[in-house]
C-alpha cells in the first residue's frame, strides 16, 4: 500500500532523536505549494524550541510533488516521506502518517497552503491546557460558496445534530492530537473529519480554536459536491457503529420489536378477515399464507434477539467499555 522513503547516510543515524511534535501533511499534486509550506512549518515549529518532524504522505501524485519532497528532505533532516503506490485518499494518508509518527503531539494540515502553519503553536498550547484533541475552526473561509462553503455548513450542522457535539468546522484538516488518542483509533473512508465525534465518545477532551484560512494560490481544489454525499453517508455509518458498539442488544432488540409488531398486526388482520373460512373453501388457502408469514416474522424476531445477545456478549468479552472507563479515569487523574 505504501512505502517509507529511507533517509540516506548520516541522516538515518540521527532519526532516533527525541520528537515532541509530528506534523502530518497529506499531499496530492501540490508541487508548487510544498517549498513555501515547508518553510512556514519549520518556522512555526522551531519557534516552540522542541524536537519535531514533518511527515509528507504522497498520495500517488501525478505531478512532480515527490521530487520536490525529496529535495526538501535533502535540505532538512526533520522531513520524512511516505509514498503510496496508488491513490487512496486523504483519510488513508492521515492514517499512514499517524502510523509512522513519533511525536507526543500530532498536528495535521493540508498541503495547499490554505491552512496556516503559524497556527500550530496555538493548537499545541491548547493541548497543553489539558485537551486531547484541538480542532481548527476556519471562521472566515476563502472558498467558493456553492461548491465548498455551503456543503460544509450543511455537513457541520448535520454532524452537530447527529453527534450532539458542537464543532463548527469538522472539515478543517488543521487539528492537533495527543498520541494516546490516535494510536488505537482506526479510521477509513472520509472518517478523519469525524475524529472529534469519535474521540469524545471515549471520554476525550475536545476543544476548538479559530484559525487563519487563506485563499488557494496554486492548482485547483480536489473537492466538490460529490464529496458532500460521501460525507453524509460516512456520518450515518459512524453514528450507527458508535451506537451499536455501546448498545448492541438494544440495537437488535429494536429490530426484533419491529418484526414482532408487524407479525402481530398481520396476524390480527388476517385472522379477522379469514375467521370461519376453511382451507378447502374458496380463499381458504390464504390461511396458510398468513400462518407462513407469521412464522417467518417470528423467526426473525428470535433471530435478531439472539443475535443481539451474542453481540452484547462479544462486546463485554472484548473489554472495550472497561478500557473506555479506565481511559476516562486516567484522563481525570492526569
Residue 7: what pLDDT? 57
Give the cell for residue 186.
Answer: 482506526
For residue 326, is pLDDT > 80? no
Q: Which of 74 and 144 is assigned the larger pLDDT? A: 74
Of 86-100, 101-115, 176-190, 263-277, where does the model show the most confidence? Answer: 101-115
Q: What average pLDDT does range 238-245 have in this prediction?
A: 60
Mean pLDDT of 256-285: 63
d(CA 73, CA 66): 11
Considering only residues 102 and 292, tell me which one the structure prediction assigns the higher pLDDT.
Answer: 102
Average pLDDT for 6-15: 46
- Cβ neighbour number for residue 142 with a 10 Å cutoff: 13
Q: Identify the pLDDT of residue 302.
A: 72
What's the whole-model pTM score? 0.68
CA quadruple 157, 159, 164, 169: dihedral, nearest 10: -70
Average pLDDT over residues 160-168: 67
Domain spans of the chain, in order of start: 2-244, 247-333
Q: Using CA atoms, how far apart are residues 330 and 334, in angstroms rounded to an integer?
A: 6
What is the model's pLDDT at position 264?
73
| pLDDT given at position 229 | 61
Rounded to 5, what percent of the chain is helix, strand, coil?
55, 15, 35
Strands (E), the chain: 2-5, 21-27, 52-58, 79-84, 105-108, 133-137, 175-178, 206-210
144 confidence band (pLDDT: 50, 70, 90): low
Lowest-confidence region among 17-26, 209-218, 259-268, 305-314: 305-314
pLDDT value at residue 327: 44
Which fold, 2-244?
A: Spore Coat Polysaccharide Biosynthesis Protein SpsA; Chain A (3.90.550)
Whole-angstrom distance, CA of residue 333 vs CA of residue 198: 22
Cell 434477539 belongs to: 305
Amino acid at each position: 500500500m505504501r512505502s517509507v522513503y529511507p533517509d540516506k547516510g548520516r541522516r538515518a543515524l540521527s532519526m532516533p532523536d527525541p520528537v515532541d511534535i509530528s506534523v502530518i501533511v497529506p499531499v496530492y499534486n501540490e508541487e508548487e505549494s510544498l517549498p513555501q509550506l515547508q518553510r512556514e512549518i519549520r518556522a512555526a515549529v522551531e519557534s516552540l524550541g522542541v524536537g519535531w518532524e514533518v511527515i509528507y504522505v504522497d498520495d500517488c501524485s501525478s505531478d512532480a510533488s515527490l521530487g520536490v519532497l525529496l529535495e526538501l528532505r535533502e535540505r532538512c533532516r526533520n522531513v520524512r516521506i511516505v509514498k503510496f503506490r496508488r491513490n487512496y485518499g486523504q483519510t488513508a494518508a492521515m492514517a499512514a502518517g499517524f502510523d509512522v509518527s513519533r511525536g507526543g503531539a500530532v498536528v495535521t494540515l493540508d498541503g495547499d497552503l490554505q491552512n496556516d502553519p503559524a497556527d500550530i503553536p496555538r493548537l499545541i498550547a491548547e493541548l497543553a491546557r489539558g485537551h486531547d484533541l484541538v480542532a481548527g475552526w476556519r471562521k472566515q473561509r476563502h472558498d467558493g460558496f456553492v461548491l465548498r462553503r455551503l456543503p460544509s455548513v450543511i455537513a457541520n450542522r448535520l454532524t452537530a445534530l447527529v453527534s450532539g457535539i458542537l464543532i463548527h468546522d469538522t472539515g478543517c484538516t488543521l487539528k492537533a492530537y495527543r498520541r494516546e488518542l490516535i494510536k488505537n483509533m482506526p479510521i477509513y473512508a472520509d472518517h478523519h473529519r469525524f475524529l472529534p465525534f469519535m474521540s469524545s465518545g471515549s471520554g476525550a477532551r475536545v476543544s476548538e480554536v479559530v484559525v487563519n484560512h487563506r485563499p488557494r494560490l496554486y492548482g485547483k481544489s480536489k473537492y466538490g459536491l460529490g464529496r458532500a454525499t460521501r460525507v453524509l453517508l460516512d456520518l450515518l455509518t459512524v453514528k450507527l457503529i458508535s451506537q451499536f458498539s455501546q448498545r448492541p442488544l438494544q440495537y437488535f432488540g429494536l429490530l426484533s420489536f419491529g418484526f414482532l409488531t408487524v407479525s402481530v398486526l398481520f396476524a390480527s388482520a388476517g385472522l379477522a378477515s379469514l375467521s370461519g373460512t376453511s382451507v378447502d373453501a374458496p380463499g381458504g388457502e390464504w390461511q396458510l399464507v398468513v400462518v407462513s408469514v407469521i412464522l417467518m416474522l417470528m423467526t426473525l424476531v428470535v433471530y435478531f434477539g439472539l443475535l443481539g445477545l451474542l453481540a452484547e456478549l462479544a462486546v463485554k468479552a472484548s473489554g472495550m467499555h472497561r478500557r473506555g472507563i479506565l481511559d476516562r479515569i486516567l484522563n481525570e487523574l492526569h
